[in-house]
Amino acid sequence: MKISLNWLKEYLDIKDANQLLSRLTSMGLEVDTVTKLKRDMVIDIDMTPNRADCLSVFGIARDLSAVYKKKIKQPKRVKLSKKDKSFIKSVNKKISTSYGLLLIENFDNTIKTPKFISDRLDLAGISRINFIVDVLNYVMIDIGQPMHVFDKDKIKGKLSVRFAKKGEKIKALDDNEYILSSEVPVIADDNGPQAIAGVIGSNNSSVNNKSTSIIIESAFFDPNLIRKSSKKYRLQTESSYRFERGVDPLLNDFALGRVVSIIKDYLKVDKYEYIHTNSKPIARHIGKTVNMDLNIFEKLLGEKISQTFVKNTLSYLGFKPIIRKNKIKISVPSYRFDISIAEDLIEEVARVYGYDNFTEMPLPLSQRPLNLKSKKSINYFLDLLSSRGYNEIITYTFLPKDSQYNSNVKTSVINVLNPISEDKSEMRTTMMHGLLKTAKYNISRQNPNIKFFELGKIYKKHKDNTISEESVLAGILSGVNYETNIKQLQKPLDFYDLKGDLLSIFPNLSFKGIKNLDHMSSSCQSHILQGQKIVGLCGEPSLEIYKQFNIKNKILYFELSTELLNLEYNIKYKPISVFPKIQRDLTLVVDENVSGDDIIDAVERKSFNYMINSKISDIFYSKKEFGADKKSMTIGLIFQDNKRTLLDTEVSEEISKIISYLQDKFNAVVRK
Amino acid sequence: MLKEYSSLISELREKLVNCSTPHDLANIKSYYLGKNGIISNEFLKLKTVSSEERKILGSNLNNFKQEVQNLITRKNTKLSETIKETKQVDISLPGSNISIGSRHPVTLTINKIIDILGRYGFDTIDGHEIEDEFHNFDALNIPNSHPARDMHDTFYVSDTKLLRTHTSSVQIRSMLSSKPPLRIMTPGKVYRSDSDPTHSPMFHQIEGLCIDRDINFCHLKGLLTRFITELFGRDMEIRFRPSYFPFTEPSAELDIKFNGKWLEVLGCGMVHPNVLSNVNISSKKYSGFAFGLGIERLAMLQYGIKDLRMFYENDLSFLSQFKGLK
């Protein structure tokens, strides 16, 4: 909200402008920007939604009076006496509990708006319309009461405050036509709605220069109803902005008196009529009192605040505090919609005391011991990944349509009902899209060598309509292993680089080739296992995905469920042997379809004497030597005993056992 | 030592001075100490002399042998050191196999905060991103009619389920599931329907909550002042000013002065008694404070990043600038 310094000075004696700015902020009326003018200053205040009472110059002055410790001046007004309500047909109490109209005949709206008014409206950023509308807007900024004016000659019959009938229409002042529904409060005459109550008036009954007979409406409207209308039609006006936050229900006749006091200086107002209706209680929050212990101020704030300070502060702000012994009873003024409990009043006192004036106290030790187990997190492993060359990325968790890839999950996709755009409309069921998109983005920006990982959630809807979230670590790699280097060690990344990276970080994973995933390449897809449990998958994406992203470079992808993955290893030390190891290589020719794991699993499971390690160390294809359906594999075997040095013959004996075992099992032949 | 031996020693010293390769040293070694070397021959000679002479010559010869061995060993040590020195290593050439990646600046910032607050006893809690209105709004004292709901442009995934607009929902779940005292922090993704250079529909927040007996506003100030100093590694000019959040009362905003301008970095306050009663905690017995901050905003300040969108573009040229950071 923009206010002028001079205007503020009309109500409060302010000497130092800089002090004012810092006091505004310290009171919670945060100064956003300040524009210095020749003889004035415009202060733009960021108003928090609870401070409806400060949406006027007078309201701000009233708030500041507590910190200036000075009384404020009251706005000038003419006291109006009530007449009958002959011009009001009916007022629905749900909509308005205090409704006032001021009829002025023989009105001259051709008068030029006085300069001080038009200048101040300019400063406040409110456009000028005509004399009476400008005056009403001026009074709104001045004391906070939004008002509306009808041209009496355009009103047919009496006015009623009622809910709209379904389908009723209104051509509003913004030139739009709104179709109304039955929960929208309106001001209507015999022709239908002439205003959406508290939000906007109709074109049909609006005042112009030529209007000579006017009806000014000044009312209290239910904040929730105004808020609903404003939201429904996406219409936020200066009026609705104030009504939905709460306009002082006792202010409306005061405001009309203020209007009369202003226009009387420019125009002879001899014939006016004031009509007012109200029902009790005017508003739910009027007459609120809060009873509290005085010691609660110190208990919650941590600092002793004197009774006098509490009492004076609250009085300046318009509360009526009565202190008896250790208790305080506080009546809340009608304009403070935001105050209902003790803590609200503690804040009132604290902000006048100044938040910066409270001491900084160290937080005492927690009375609960730390749960250190929960601190063991995936984070450490992500650091390891990044030290192996992976860059961590974060991508949007909502995806464009048709980018979930895995056809198995299509039915579990969760849609955003009000997406910000088409490309962010489905919650991801896989991390693949974000990683591929990032890969593509970088490859097309001359960064073909990539290793990325992302830790994030995937979201699924189940048949019973429940929703689940799962934390997933996924990664992608492409390009060469190292940037150019003088040792020429560069080579393209392949599946084994991916596998090596994962095993370096999670040493107890194993891999099992599969064929059933349609979003992965049929020649390179694998489950990732920890023990017997499937914890993830990896491999190359399907050709279709390559095509869709128009990626020509080889891509490798993995994903691990960090919820299934066990990150706690139970390590128990095993004594180490001091006797020498004997290493033997065994090169076999086997069928093409026998995998490395087949051989190693078989050898490990059979548990040959003294064998402590076995590993595939080489693989070799030669059509010429052993035909297309065969391959040669070298197994590196290590033998060792705990109690003595092994004899060569003992090892040879085990080797022959292994050979004959593999011969039986896989038809393996020792390569000559 | 015999004169003959002394001259042999000087001769050896000279040879050693001129010797610069292991190969030459091996030749020298075999010349003196080899099977047919000088010393072997001298020992053979001993067989031909009398036993008394042998005694004296033998002791001399042993001394001589010892001296030769020492000299050669010393040279060998020296030579093995100088081998590496012989070819000048161009230390300016690139190192091999450098493979260092990076953590995302958002995670770097979260981790830093978790690290600091962890020392004050705050546990990290992870929660749901898809929430219901109760945990995201109602329990936090934001009823449906509340204007504060306008501050949260919410994404809905069903009539009742939404993408959480803040991580406060995790605090509600924690307070419902465990009794005070509580000190938790909740980092994570949050969602609001807003997109421009300073707003992203998805962003990250971390919130802290401390519930205990006799916790007051001065504790809140004490912790957060210390937190900011530790986060930035130096004393910062800060201010606390009144603000408004439905779930705290009193509420405050913490601003930091950056380049002469106050920037809002953190919202905080004493937990509203309605919130405590919504999670069945007695506000007579317990009090507490909560605070929350936007991660991206802080990361932008710390690293001088100007455009929020950089965080989700994941350009390698952007990401790799953060390598080596933890």
pLDDT tens digits, one per residue of A314-341: 999 999 999 998 999 999 999 999 999 9
**CATH code, domain with A613:** 3.30.70.380
Tell me how far apart the alpha carbons of residues B201 and A166 are, in angstroms, rounded to a whole number.
36
Tell me how far apart the alpha carbons of residues A632 and A666 are, in angstroms, rounded to a whole number.
13
Cα dist from B326 to B102, B126, B229, whole Å: 8, 20, 19
The per-residue pLDDT for range A621-666, each reduced to its tens digit, is: 888 888 888 899 999 999 999 899 999 899 999 999 999 999 999 9
The per-residue pLDDT for range A403-448, each reduced to its tens digit, is: 887 766 777 899 999 998 888 999 999 999 999 999 999 999 999 9
Beta strands A88-91 and A159-163 are parallel
Token pair in block for residue A85: 């309500």
Which residue in A192, A241, A194, A190 sits closest to A217, CA to CA? Answer: A194
Residue A389, domain extent = 379-561
Could you say which of A347, A452, A485 has the minimum Cβ distance to residue B249? A347
Task: Outline where DSSP puts E strands in A438-554.
Answer: 450-461, 467-478, 509-513, 520-530, 533-541
The reply to whether A380 touches chain B by the CB within 8 Å rule is no
Give the residue on B whose Cα is nearest the Cα of A354: B241
**In contact, A245 and A337? CB cutoff 8 Å:** yes
- Answer yes or no: is pLDDT of B145 > 90: no
- Answer yes or no: is pLDDT of A485 > 80: no
**In A169-180, which positions are buried (b, 16+ CB within 10 angstroms) versus exposed (e)?**
ebebbeeeebeb
Please check whether residues A485 and A619 belong to one and the same domain: no
- Nearest-neighbour CA in chain A from B316: distance (Å): 7
At A651 the three-state DSSP class reads helix
Question: Percent of chain A having pLDDT more than 90?
Answer: 73
3-state helix, strand, coil in chain A (%, to 5): 30, 30, 40
Tell me what the mean pLDDT of segment A46-58 comes to. Answer: 94
The reply to whether A457 touches chain B by the CB within 8 Å rule is yes
Could you say which of A393, A416, A459 has the minimum Cβ distance to residue B319? A393
Judge: B181–A368 Cβ closer than 8 Å, yes or no: yes
Judge: B221–A379 Cβ closer than 8 Å, yes or no: no
Question: In this structure, is residue A369 part of a structural domain?
Answer: no
- Chain B residues with CB under 8 Å of A414 CB are 130, 157
- Answer yes or no: is pLDDT of A375 > 70: no
Question: In this structure, is residue A572 part of a structural domain?
Answer: no
Confidence of residue B84 (pLDDT cuts 50, 70, 90): low
Last residue of a domain, one of A255, A278, A301: A278
Please check whether residues A121 and A237 belong to one and the same domain: yes
Token pair in block for residue A30: 């945060």
The reply to whether B121 touches chain A by the CB within 8 Å rule is yes
Please check whether residues A531 and A647 belong to one and the same domain: no
Q: How confident is the model at residue A366, as a pLDDT?
A: 81
**What is the SS3 string spanning A577-639?**
CCCCCEEEEEEEEEECCCCHHHHHHHHHHHCCCCEEEEEEEEEECCHHHHCCCEEEEEEEEEE
The reply to whether A374 touches chain B by the CB within 8 Å rule is yes
Q: How confident is the model at residue B232, as a pLDDT?
A: 93
Judge: B217–A301 Cβ closer than 8 Å, yes or no: yes
Mean pLDDT of chain B: 89
User: pLDDT higher for A75 or A267?
Assistant: A75
- Chain A residues with CB under 8 Å of B182 CB are 368
Confidence of residue B25 (pLDDT cuts 50, 70, 90): confident
DSSP states of B209-277: EEEETT--HHHHHHHHHHHHHHHHTS---EEEEE--BTTEEEEEEEEEEETTEEEEEEEEEEEPHHHHH
In one-letter notation, the amino acid at residue B267 is: G
Tell me how far apart the alpha carbons of residues B169 and B182 are, in angstroms, rounded to a whole number.
15
Number of domains in chain A: 5
- Chain B residues with CB under 8 Å of A388 CB are 99, 101
Please check whether residues A400 and A445 belong to one and the same domain: yes
- Answer yes or no: is pLDDT of A31 > 80: yes
Please check whether residues A113 and A255 belong to one and the same domain: yes
Asked if the interface predicted TM-score (ipTM) of this complex is over 0.95, the answer is no
Q: How confident is the model at residue B35, as a pLDDT?
A: 81
Q: How confident is the model at residue B5, as a pLDDT?
A: 80
Judge: B103–A382 Cβ closer than 8 Å, yes or no: yes
Confidence of residue A373 (pLDDT cuts 50, 70, 90): low
Question: In this structure, is residue A483 part of a structural domain?
Answer: yes
Helix (H) / strand (E) element for A383: namely helix A379-387
- Answer yes or no: is pLDDT of B147 > 60: yes
Give the residue on B whose Cα is nearest the Cα of A363: B219
Judge: B183–A28 Cβ closer than 8 Å, yes or no: no
At B22 the three-state DSSP class reads helix
**CATH code, domain with A26:** 3.30.56.10
Tell me how far apart the alpha carbons of residues B220 and B248 are, in angstroms, rounded to a whole number.
12
Last residue of a domain, one of A236, A255, A278: A278
The reply to whether B219 touches chain A by the CB within 8 Å rule is yes
Q: How confident is the model at residue B105, as a pLDDT?
A: 97
Tell me what the mean pLDDT of segment A105-122 comes to. Answer: 92
Judge: A445–B317 Cβ closer than 8 Å, yes or no: yes
Could you say which of B129, B193, B314 has the minimum Cβ distance to residue A420? B193
Please check whether residues A352 and A395 belong to one and the same domain: no
Confidence of residue B151 (pLDDT cuts 50, 70, 90): low
- Answer yes or no: is pLDDT of B55 > 90: no
Judge: B129–A469 Cβ closer than 8 Å, yes or no: yes
Tell me how far apart the alpha carbons of residues B16 and B28 are, in angstroms, rounded to a whole number.
8
Q: Is the peptide bond before B187 cis (omega within 30 degrees of 0)?
A: no
**Phi-psi sector, B201: left (phi>0), alpha (psi -120 to 50), beta:** alpha
Question: In this structure, is residue A363 part of a structural domain?
Answer: no
At A575 the three-state DSSP class reads coil
Tell me what the mean pLDDT of segment A561-585 comes to. Answer: 88
Tell me what the mean pLDDT of segment B20-27 comes to. Answer: 84
* Residues found in chain B: 326
Please check whether residues A337 and A255 belong to one and the same domain: no
Confidence of residue A84 (pLDDT cuts 50, 70, 90): low
Interface of B with A in 52-91 (CB under 8 A): none
Please check whether residues A394 and A462 belong to one and the same domain: yes
Token pair in block for residue A444: 């097309």
Most A CBs within 10 A among B90, B145, B155, B263, hence the mutation to make, goes to: B155
**In contact, A11 and A75? CB cutoff 8 Å:** yes
Number of DSSP helices (H) and strands (E) in chain A, helices first: 18, 30
Question: In this structure, is residue A638 part of a structural domain?
Answer: yes
- The answer regarding whether domain B105-322 maps to CATH 3.30.70.3280 reads no
Please check whether residues A235 and A103 belong to one and the same domain: yes
User: pLDDT higher for A225 or A272?
Assistant: A225
- Chain A residues with CB under 8 Å of B320 CB are 391
Please check whether residues A498 and A471 belong to one and the same domain: yes
At A121 the three-state DSSP class reads helix
Greatest extent of chain B over all pairs of C-alpha atoms, in Å: 123
Long-range CB contact pairs, A552-556, < 8 A, 24+: A553/A443, A553/A448, A553/A478, A553/A479, A554/A478, A554/A492, A554/A493, A554/A494, A555/A436, A555/A439, A555/A476, A555/A477, A555/A478, A556/A476, A556/A477, A556/A478, A556/A493, A556/A494, A556/A495, A556/A497, A556/A498
Annotated domain spans of chain B: 3-86, 105-322
The reply to whether A452 touches chain B by the CB within 8 Å rule is yes
The reply to whether B143 touches chain A by the CB within 8 Å rule is no
Question: Percent of chain A having pLDDT more than 70?
Answer: 97
At A423 the three-state DSSP class reads helix
Most A CBs within 10 A among B112, B224, B241, B309, hence the mutation to make, goes to: B241
Question: In this structure, is residue A77 part of a structural domain?
Answer: no
User: pLDDT higher for A286 or A180?
Assistant: A180
